[in-house]
Structure 1
Amino acid sequence: MTLQRRILILATAVLLLAGVGVLAVVRASSRAAEKDQARPGGPQVTRGEVSLAPGGGSRMVFRNMAWGPHRDELATAPADAPGGPRTASGVSCLRFHAAAGTGICLRADKGGVQESYRAVVLDAALKEVSAHPLAGIPTRARVSPGGHLAAWTVFVGGDSYAGTDFSTRTSLLDLRTGKLDASLEDFTVLKDGKEYRNADVNFWGVTFTADEKAFYATLATGGRTYLVRGDLAARTVTTLRENLECPSLSPDGTRLVFKKRVPGLPAEAPWRLYVLDLASMRETPLAEERSVDDQVVWRDDRTLVYSLPGDFGADLYTLPADGSGAPARLADSALAPAFLG
């Protein structure tokens, strides 16, 4: 073989290798772009600034469940186009809520032999203000309307509300003083007009009143659940009604949406959604026939938002609060929304 032919073969091989390298780079870039989008036809998610500050326009901030590099990050989308493109923050949360420029983020800490969890208070720029270790798996989180109080619930035994073999711990934090009530079980329970004590007492699903002096929550004891109203100054909780779970107070303070166990439904999916008028104590069933295991959010005084299982973990749905209409999908691959304006 002549020297000229050898040089020609070598040059051809170099060009082929270069072409393969370029093709690999193009394909890798294409795959990265595909990953930055949840899935074909799914929401587009890009990194950017996310704020909890009031006055930033009507928007929804939530845990992004879309598959890709921004999964589990707090993301935002316009309230009038919640299914459109999303801006991801880089801050990851398992459960989240926000109001008046304050956020509460229940997150997992990776590393170590066993996964641990923290409740992290966030400011309007999503910077950590304080952090508190959690005794179990995060499940519920709420911030008061004025942004001065936060509450969260974790499973310390079991991992589902559907059965009876579970234990929860619910904590309250006053952000003005830094005082942490590690467990609502330290409050005095008033049941049927008398002080009540039982080792099986559990609380979950706190929702605060607008004046930030009281709250509603679920109390479980003796195989039953109760709606309770809590008085923060007196450190008492008083039972109001049986068979109410995960209450959420309307912005005008007149109604609670909640999930209720309905006889005859499957043990693993026992709930239906109802609204309770606090003045008349009259219940209204809502037009959602599926079992909802969520603490519903009020988008406004007329509209509710909640999650149901989806292809990538959870999807958000919306529903009228007066019992009319029908459920409508609000956003794919999303969980734990807070509506800010």
Structure 2
Amino acid sequence: MRKTQVTKRTLAVTLSALIATMLPLQVLATNLPEENAVYSSFDNVQGNDEKIPNIVTELITDRTENSKVFLLEDGSKMIAEYNQPVHYKDSDDVWVEYNNSLISENSSATIDEADIDYSNKSSNIDIKLSNKVKTKNMIEISQNGYSISWGYDNANKSKIKAITNNDNFVGNDRFTNVKNIASEVIYENVYNNIDLQYFVTSTGVKENIILHNADAQNEFNITYQLKHLTPKQSDEHTITLYNGDNEPVYSIIAPFMTDNNGESSVQLQMKIVSLNGANMKVKLIADYDFIHSANRSFPITIDPEITNKFSSELYLDEVYGNSALNHGPYYLSNDHYIFA
């Protein structure tokens, strides 16, 4: 079998990777021992015109968290590796696919009905989204006995809007594309000229605050509810949440914002305003001068972040020339911030 080669590189989860609904980063077609296998990539095969044979079926018992194995029509096998988890272990300790499509407790309800909460269908992370913008419990993430929920104060009346993906895949992509790995919703005009955008993924929830023009406000009051967690202000950008043993579990961070031309700023603040039992009020402040500077290109995306990864590097190397991520912070419940 002819071998193809690809340069190994470090990748971070990006927004485009999520919305591309998880085509694999690398594939390996081989009937050789693992030590003789050479990886190739769907989008970066160098000097080889060899066509991968058609896939017959997935070998489900060979799944891992980030990979699938397929039987090809010539008898060889293909390993498809992904840059985020595509499987999790169920109660029977079996690797199963994520299904982050949104469902309601009322099976007859639609996503446009009022006062209905929606949750991801099948995951090791429980995520709930309110049908409308609320001060409390608008978004909730639960895992391993801990939960975080939040909402926005003094917001306009805005209802959830699901964004559908109607991509149709053919050939081997029908097998390697992971369906329902991510869902996207948006709450429009939550504040004047501001939308809230959410992506439900296999690692948690990605949030974007989208400012459409310079008239948009730059300060936001957010109310959090915390279960079995105690918050402490680490610095003007970071709030750390500790468990009962005083161990850090999550960090809430104001990392950066980016305009439509890719210009970014880290001049954001995330500060505790008040604490009352499990309720925490936080003020997020985005730099006024950055938003109103000359030649600013809108929209501007602000990326609040919750993560339990305390030493993550927010960059892509080699492929993107050490440039900062335009999008990428996530509300994470697993330690999957950077992938190699």
Q: Same fold (TM over 0.5)?
A: no
Q: Which has the higher contact order (CA 8 A, sep 6+)?
A: 2
| Structure with a larger share of its residues in strand | 1
Q: Normalised by the size of structure 1, how large is the TM-score?
A: 0.30
Larger Cα-atom Rg: 1
